Chain A
């Protein structure tokens, strides 16, 4: 470390590190933080508040890039202490294999306590997005599973990586978002949220969802992953993958229940995942971005939003809002 403050020069190798040191010097004099360091500090503040004010918080770990960033922020918030809450992964059993491998390896490396919860009953009854439709399948494997897991664990606050820029209804979500005893969100009756004074008071049975990354954008997340060298699932990086090509959609065939059209064959297409979910419902995008800098370059030129490849966001107008009202994260 050269000293206090927003120091990027030591985080990575750049050909123009002298320039960075000069710029760094100016920043130091002004005593201001760059936008990314401000976002980082805000998120750390939020994580510390949850732990200080809630009885039994849990971090909803989705294995995606946002979860990886959350984990790093949690390490920073409680350093030199350990992360003082467990991680909870709602595993639908339809997640990409690489996600599960990454999850088990990375959480073991960090030495955190991971709880995995699956709605076995719905799976035995044959829930797949094709047999049940995406709305019912999501309802059982994600929403019901989440609410059950929170109840079983006695968790009163679930920390998640959702961002307000992801989807329209999330733009109005609070950082500390209240849920009634059925886990439901009432967008018309949210608590006003002023300054950084969060109202964490709830009655038994009620709970909070807490979103420390509320003010981050997709580019911020990738930028932070770059400067912090945070590991992410390899599915985010482009390589040749066997997929079904259906118009603009590239569909993974990891699950054998994905129906094929007559005579349809997989093709090898260079592609990557922009966001991660269940393999049957998460399309890949054509991409050549093999590194984090290349992903950022791609984002700066791309004209499609991040969740565009998520089938479940588009099954009806206002889908995410309706799912959230029912208790979806």
Chain B
């Protein structure tokens, strides 16, 4: 390990403070096994950015006695548990931290083999970006494709493909461009993915922290340079305002506030908002924090809101922008990733946690499974551990949600098995289950009015959403006919 690769760290406090004022946070995920050189790559990032300490290196050097390792075996730095070091395997998601003057990084480091999908999904759920490793000697393997697919499924829009072990192929440009072409073709099936390809040697340090002199044909950034500069913030800020209420804060009669984290968008004092699922409109009176009131709050901030009107708001309600309401309903269609040894069961009741709300949720029907390697739909009636599938779910009370690909915070949920309390599934909502929604509900009111000479009818669906249409609309006609038949039968 050459000391020359270490990042220069400015040790003056003033300089530190100046950097810290603009320093952002990037969360990324990596996946793979020791064979890919993943541990070496992470070890290199940690070591070269001075995020590993000497005594930690000494302690792993001590622990590596008996294992076939070089001078510093970076996998030992990243394999945290004793059982892992003894068996030379990685069991679980591990979180790593390093910082440069420009950014702080949180790595969710996931193993590529055992329980791979479960761990990769967990790591990807909080990540803004994925680093996918490809071994230059082996080309595009199922494992790399799987990792890219999981990243896309979890809504990650930025993927950095590190083509590693370039030293083993003589730093040959054609090896790199062939892999890039094949991988780009594979990625074209996913929408909106920004992929960057970087030829690296984690072992030798080429294009990891510093640009490589041995691959002058490559004009792009080194991996760390890319990680420091890529813009990933925009999505949660562009989405409509969503504020799931965590807790009602009421220290006395004169203050009643709703504590929570802005899940997406922004809100200003005086802004018109709607309380969901009740649909009651009101306006923001104050945005309070321990450090004083704010004029505006945006995605990621933990604040307490007070409202202009006295409305009954409880934990689990969502305060939203009145201009852009979420879906409300009891029937949803979602992609499930199954995380538990006990397979998914149709019609079994699970505890469903969505934003700050807990409801009962049943899997009404598993539509199909998705083969993560090929993206093909496959018929399925259950989901085993690590399987991915699309299912229709019904909840005991309505959820307020957005499609996951539009809003991660209001589109995600977990299922908990009430008999074991295990977290059994990760869910990503694609939208209302429209077939269930159009089952008319006779309990609601059917509203009608004459507008521009045609009859406009509003029908409440079983999902709690109201759909309107005039009678030339075939779908509404169909629903109307079925509703009338049902009413006639009573």
Q: Using a CB–CB distance below 8 Å, which chain A residues touch chain B?
A: 1, 3-8, 14-16, 19-20, 23-24, 26-27, 30-41, 44-45, 48-49, 51-52, 75-82, 164-165, 168-172, 187-188, 190-199, 201-203, 214-215, 217, 219-220, 223, 293-294, 296-297, 300-305, 308, 314, 317-318, 321-322
Contacts and interface: CB of A to CB of B under 8 A. Distances in A.
Contacts of A19: 18
A168 B78 CA distance: 8
Contact of A215 (B85, B106, B118): B106
Contact of B423 (A80, A81, A199): A199
Interface string B54-78: 1110010011000000000000000
Nearest to A82: B251
Contact of A14 (B14, B56, B295, B354): B14
B301 interface: yes
B376 interface: no
B249 interface: yes
13 contacts: A3-B295, A4-B296, A4-B298, A15-B14, A35-B24, A164-B97, A172-B95, A188-B83, A194-B423, A196-B261, A217-B104, A302-B53, A304-B54
B217 interface: no
Given A76-B290, A304-B54, A187 B83 contact: yes
Contacts of A26: 22
A34 B23 contact: yes
B255 A80 contact: yes
Contacts of B355: 197
Contact of A297 (B16, B56, B289, B299): B16
B475 interface: no
Nearest to B291: A1
B103 interface: yes
Nearest to B96: A171
Interface stretch (B144-152, B367-375, B405-413): B405-413
A201 B55 CA distance: 39
A323 to B, nearest CB: 12
B122 interface: yes
A187 B259 contact: no
Interface residues of B, number: 92
A206 to B, nearest CB: 8
B81 A172 contact: yes
A80 B412 CA distance: 30
Nearest to B76: A168
Which 3 residue pairs of A and B lie closest in terms of their CB atoms, listed nearest first? A318-B82, A35-B25, A305-B53
Contacts of B444: none
Contacts of A35: 23-25, 99, 103-104
Contacts of A199: 353, 414, 416, 421, 423
Contacts of A202: 421
B194 interface: no
B11 interface: yes
B41 to A, nearest CB: 17
B96 A201 contact: no
Given A164-B95, A171-B80, A193-B122, 6 more contacts: A5-B301, A23-B21, A192-B121, A304-B55, A305-B55, A321-B80
A213 B240 CA distance: 29
Contacts of B416: 199, 201
A162 B97 CA distance: 14
Contacts of B354: 197
Interface in B394-421: 408-409, 412-414, 416, 418, 421
Nearest to A84: B247
A305 B409 CA distance: 36
Contact of B13 (A77, A203, A293): A293
Given A31-B298, A45-B261, A169-B80, A16 B25 contact: no
Contacts of A164: 95, 97
A168 B80 contact: yes
Contacts of A45: 246, 261, 302
Contacts of A171: 80, 94-96
Interface string B269-301: 000000000000000000111111111111111
Contacts of A15: 14
A7 B290 CA distance: 13
A258 to B, nearest CB: 23
A80 B91 CA distance: 43
Contacts of A191: 422-423
Contact of A79 (B122, B125, B290, B298): B290
Contacts of A321: 80-82
Contacts of B53: 302-305, 308
A216 to B, nearest CB: 9
Contacts of B413: 197
Contacts of B91: 172, 187-188
A229 to B, nearest CB: 12
A242 B20 CA distance: 36
Contacts of A27: 21-22
A37 to B, nearest CB: 8
Most buried by B among A5, A48, A223: A48
B233 interface: yes
